[in-house]
Amino acid sequence: MRIAIWTPNARDLIADRVAAAGHEPAVAQNGEDFARILAEGVDMVAMISQFWSPKVRDLAAAAMPRLKLVQLLTAGFDPLDAHGVPAGLMVANAGGSYSPTVAEHAVAMMLALLRRLPQAGIAQAHQNWDRGILREMGSLEGRTVTMLGFGSIGEETAKRLKPFGARIIAVTRSARPHDLADEAVRIDDLATVLPRSDVLYACLPLGDATRGLIGRQVLAALPRHALVINVARGPVIDQTALLEALLSGSIAGAGIDVADPEPLPADAPLWRAPNLIITPHVAGGGSGAIDERLAAVTMTNLARLQAGEAILHPVQPRVG
């Protein structure tokens, strides 16, 4: 089988594994390479979702029916949902490849805000031994973390929060009970748990139902001491409403690894919001194990495709 590989993530490792398994890797360095490779014929594509565009969608359609599977090397697939995919083309995402590091990043943001590390850093820069932050410090012990979404990232985050003594509320479409969650509620019932949420944590996919989910009404229902953490996608939060909440003090702080748009413009008012930690969509990085997991999921789905078996981590972007 011939596999088109267009990604900065684990590219060489995946190409080596594909070749070692007796298949033909075709590595694209840019969009022109990718177009040529697809025109020559491929059975599967391994790529990051950010490279998907209307042009790539049309190239994929022209490469069918030989092309059967797009293996994303990202967890998110919103560009495919936005631009559509050809009917009949299977799509899989990276599963939990990035989940451990994203979870670690989210917990780091929670701890930094609760322990007032940004304020301590400012005091340090001014050589100021200011113990005043002690009055404002908090702890995860006994805190309730309400998770919007409880997939792989949510589970990995819960594993890290439990040893701190946090209580977990999983908010999902089904409200299915989970061993790692103390409570599970349907997303339609989110309003019922907001007043007792110390942290509201977004780790769910972006779609029509989740765009702007954390808006003025949701933020107003949180306690004044609550934190908001977003490692999902920028548009999940109404950024204007978030800015207003931080400026007014109706929430205590926030941490976002994603923004709308990305990169966040230098003149965006959000940069100057108080008690806000912004990181530039890097939560998924930092571990050498990620490339191994990406290669593993790619090779597993390649083998399943060849054998005519169901693929792992299928997703269903909009057909168009």
Catalytic (active-site) positions: 233, 262, 281
DSSP strand E in 167-278: where?
Answer: 167-172, 183-186, 199-202, 227-230, 253-256, 276-278
Nearest Cα residue to 144 out of 124, 164, 122: 164
Q: Tokens at residue 264, please? A: 């966040």
| Residue 231: Cβ within 10 Å count | 26
Written in H, E and C, the secondary structure of 185-196 is EEHHHHHHCHHH
Helix (H) or strand (E) holding 240: helix 239-248
> Locate tokens 């019922």: which residue?
192
Q: Burial level of 156, CB count in 10 A (0-12/13-18/19+)? A: buried
